[in-house]
């Protein structure tokens, strides 16, 4: 909560807004299947780790490959995904870095069918400021059903 | 809301806050069945378009009629609706106008029964600044099951 | 809605951010079973009232006892809870007090099982500013299925 103390060049509300908008845009890219733009929201060597995966996905090329495969699979099955991130708590760790701890839910809707919850998760991010905005340096997604 | 302030004096965090609070108040009005106040959150000639409707609903009088019919139907069936908007991404288009792209989910709970997801949607808004706060000039709601 | 007018020492965006981050941290504490820290987010004589409970829970000791029993029960059944608060609308009532009206959903995921919605609710809070941040003085949670 002591965001302003640690990042005096930016108000804490402004920082919180930036993270909320970043998350909105980032997940909308993924849900639209824009996987290269999605990967570009990670640092070049960004890490996507998840308790549902045996190994972390490391680097933009690997993130593109992984997200591209998932996107093609969902498209083939006619399912629209929606990633909701919420309950965001952030802590700065220097002027250009922060950690965020939030909840993420994945909703899925098949064409002509009912919307449902695919997974409820905890999302723990380390974000760094890039030239054009925030980037994910490290993300850990913990699915609630697997813990 | 401090709507009398000019846009140049307003930070992006303030704008984002205003939109979040506007959405909260707007959807709470609808979920309470306060349809005239709900309609007043649109411009006089505001448009509510949806891929679930054959034609857009245009103007406050039509919005009142449409929302009133839905409200009466839900009340008769003993169902409480909750509209959640989230993952809000906004872009300004001048000092007194912005576009917002967000997700919207409708939850329904029948009296004595389980809560469930009625629909997962994409909500695309054009908002303009009125004398007393933001107003929806054009809303397009795209249900995920119908695309 | 006239947040800045009534609380001139703090911008409305800053206030809104504080409440969002407070809610995120508060509910994460509960979902982690950190019941003493959860209780410390209420005032010493804080009230937790709910239409699902015959009597309000009053004071931190009672809140610890109640949350502790629920936490032990969920742990025994292998269920991870996630409390989402959203659609937050706040109104200040002096520089150090505010009311918030928001929606709250409880998601539950059993180990190895599907995530589901446990309850959809309305949450009405009176918050006051303590030495280290906001505290809940009075919370009323209204479950949609019981009204």
Q: What is the mean pLDDT of residues B113-132?
A: 97
Average pLDDT, chain B: 93
The pLDDT, as a whole number, for residue C95 is 85
pLDDT band at residue B4, thresholds of 50, 70 and 90?
Answer: very low
Task: List chain B residues with CB under 8 Å of C145.
Answer: 80, 109-115
The pLDDT, as a whole number, for residue A10 is 61
Cβ(B98)–Cβ(B15) under 8 Å? yes
Q: What is the mean pLDDT of residues B121-131?
A: 97
Of B14, B101, B146, the CB nearest to A28: B101
Percent of chain C residues past pLDDT 70, beyond the cut? 93
As a whole number of angstroms, the distance between CA A106 and CA A85 comes to 9
pLDDT band at residue C11, thresholds of 50, 70 and 90?
Answer: confident
DSSP states of C12-77: HHHHHHHHHHHHHHHHHHHHTT-HHHHHTTEEEEEEEEETTSSS-EESHHHHHHHHHHHHHHHHHH
The pLDDT, as a whole number, for residue C3 is 36
Reference B89, options C77, A22, A14; nearest CA is A22
Task: Kindly report, residue by residue over A77-115, the tens digit of the pLDDT.
Answer: 999 999 999 999 999 988 899 999 999 999 999 999 999
Which residues are CB-neighbours of B113 under 8 A, at least 6 positions away?
Answer: C145
As a whole number of angstroms, the distance between CA C89 and CA B26 comes to 10
pTM value is 0.93
Q: What is the mean pLDDT of residues C10-16?
A: 86
Q: Which of A42-51, A103-112, B102-111, C4-13 has the lowest mean pLDDT?
A: C4-13
The pLDDT, as a whole number, for residue C92 is 93
Q: What is the mean pLDDT of residues B102-106?
A: 98
As a whole number of angstroms, the distance between CA C65 and CA C71 comes to 10
Instruction: Write down the ipTM of this complex.
Output: 0.92
Task: Kindly report, residue by residue over B58-76, the tens digit of the pLDDT.
Answer: 999 999 999 999 999 999 9
The 3-state secondary structure of B72-123, one letter per residue:
HHHHHCCEEEEEEEEEEEEEECCCCEEEEEEEEEEEEEECCCCCEEEEEEEE
From B81, which residue of chain C is nearest by alpha-carbon distance? C144
Distance from B144 to chain C by nearest Cα, in Å?
19
- Which helix (H) or strand (E) is C6 found in, with range? helix C3-6
pLDDT band at residue B10, thresholds of 50, 70 and 90?
Answer: low
As a whole number of angstroms, the distance between CA C22 and CA C29 comes to 11
CB-based contact (8 Å) between A102 and chain C? yes
Q: Which two tokens stand for residue A90?
A: 């952030």
Q: Between vectors from CA B91 to CA A65 and to CA C98, what angle results, nearest 5°?
A: 110
**C98: region left, alpha or beta (phi > 0 left; psi from -120 to 50 alpha):** beta
Do the bridges between strand B42-50 and strand A133-143 make them parallel or antiparallel, or are there none, so unpaired?
unpaired
Domain coordinates in residue numbering, chain B:
13-146
Distance from B61 to chain A by nearest Cα, in Å?
31
Q: Sign of dihedral through CA atoms B53, B55, B58, B64? A: negative
CB-based contact (8 Å) between B109 and chain C? yes
The residue among C18, C115, C118 with the most chain A CBs within 10 A of its CB, best to mutate, is: C115
- Fold category of A13-146 in CATH: Nuclear Transport Factor 2; Chain: A, (3.10.450)
Task: Kindly report, residue by residue over C21-53, the tens digit of the pLDDT.
Answer: 999 999 999 999 999 999 999 999 999 999 999
- Residue C9, burial from CB neighbour count under 10 angstroms (0-12, 13-18, 19+): exposed
Task: Kindly report, residue by residue over C66-120, the tens digit of the pLDDT.
Answer: 999 999 999 999 999 999 999 999 999 888 999 999 999 999 999 999 999 999 9
Counting as contact any 3 or more CB pairs under 8 A, the partners of C are A, B
Task: Kindly report, residue by residue over B17-72, the tens digit of the pLDDT.
Answer: 999 999 999 999 999 999 999 999 999 999 999 999 999 999 999 999 999 999 99
Neighbours of B81 (CB within 10 A): 19
As a whole number of angstroms, the distance between CA B134 and CA B131 comes to 8
pLDDT band at residue C10, thresholds of 50, 70 and 90?
Answer: low
Cβ(A81)–Cβ(A107) under 8 Å? yes
pLDDT-flagged residues of chain A (< 70): 1-10
- Which helix (H) or strand (E) is C108 found in, with range? strand C97-110
Count of pairs with CB atoms under 8 A, one residue in B, one in C: 84
As a whole number of angstroms, the distance between CA C113 and CA B32 comes to 34
């Amino acid at each position: 909560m002591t965001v302003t103390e640690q990042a005096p060049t930016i108000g804490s509300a402004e920082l919180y807004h930036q993270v909320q908008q970043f998350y909105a845009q980032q997940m909308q890219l993924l849900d639209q299947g824009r996987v290269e733009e999605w990967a570009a929201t990670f640092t070049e060597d960004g890490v996507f780790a998840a308790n549902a995966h045996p190994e972390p996905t490391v680097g933009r090329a690997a993130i593109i490959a992984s997200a591209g495969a998932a996107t093609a699979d969902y498209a083939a099955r006619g399912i629209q995904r929606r990633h909701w991130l919420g309950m965001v708590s952030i802590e700065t760790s220097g002027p250009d870095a922060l950690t965020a701890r939030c909840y993420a839910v994945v909703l899925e809707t098949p064409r002509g069918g009912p919307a449902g919850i695919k997974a409820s998760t905890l999302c723990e991010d380390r974000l760094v400021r890039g030239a054009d905005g925030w980037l994910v340096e490290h993300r850990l997604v913990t699915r609630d059903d697997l813990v």
